[in-house]
Amino acid sequence: MRKNLRRRLLHPQKPSILARLHSVRRRERTEPRFRIRPATLRDYVGLCEVFQEADLMHSSALPDLFRPTRGPVRTREYIAEIIGGESSVVFVAEQDEKIVGAVRAEVREAPTIPLVVPRRFGVIDTLVVIRSCRRRGIGTALAAEVQRWAKGKGVSQVELTVYEFNRTGLAFYQKLGFRTASRRLRKSLTDSGQVTQ
């Protein structure tokens, strides 16, 4: 008996396929499901709550570029414009009838100068999932939905900008296949270390 116990402790067996399947099913039952859909103006309050989480992260990390806001973080008119635009879109992740994530994207044209290859490309402006719902596949699903939308618009590339402080975001986008194409550098011209405008 002791030999069997010792053997199991020293050489544990991998869980069987059936045991792993039951584990996945248990997780599926305990983790609430979410759905991705286009945003509507009825989502205004939920979108502001989600965008505020990203805004707070940016204003805390880069106070010389971003400032904390009071009241709604976006105007109703702004949300209506980006939702209803021909070349822009907002998708939301909804769980238990609550907005838990959002992505805003648009299609842009390359400048018409001789050096630049003419092209249309997608730009992810904002992708955010509320902290309590991260690491559940919501951000990945939002990014995939934007890529499907961009392909439908005849776009063959999607770009985005990530600030250097956002290491988690950078790792997330790299995992999705995004690669660094350029870098924007800044230099302070004041004693305080903040760039003046």
Domains of the chain by start residue, with CATH:
33-175 (3.40.630.30)
> How far from chain centre, in Å, is Cα 149?
15
Average pLDDT, the chain: 87
**This prediction's pTM:** 0.79
* pLDDT tens digits, one per residue of 79-124: 999 998 889 999 999 999 999 999 999 999 999 999 999 999 999 9
Q: What is the DSSP letter of 126?
A: E
Task: Calculate the dihedral angle through the C-alpha atoms of 79, 82, 83, 89, rounding to the nearest 10 degrees.
Answer: -140
% of the chain at pLDDT higher than 70:
80
pLDDT value, residue 197: 47
pLDDT value, residue 85: 86
